[in-house]
Amino acid sequence: MTPLKALLLEAVVEVRSLRRENEILRAKVEVMDLFACVLHTSPALKSQGMAPDVAWAMQNKIDDLTVEENRPSDKPPAEAGKETA
């Protein structure tokens, strides 16, 4: 595995882990907001923004790199051996 692929895979795991933690924290905040609305009789407001999915983009790049690594070389075998040496 190339260092770039390893770094991207680690980043994907980190982003997904942080997203899960954010989901849990978002649920806690919504409960606190609900209690605040009930106590102060203000209307409940729920807002959620959308952002580009970085983990999805990184996973696609990892998949592309894997396909490129597994693609047969267009060079003759003699030239392909020189690159690895």
Residue 68 has pLDDT above 90, yes or no: no
Confidence of residue 80 (pLDDT cuts 50, 70, 90): low
Domain hosting 35: range is: 3-84
CB 65 within 8 A of CB 2: yes
* Number of domains into which the chain is organized: 1
Q: Mean pLDDT over all residues of the chain? A: 82
Q: Name the one residue in this structure whose structure tokens are 């009930």.
A: 38
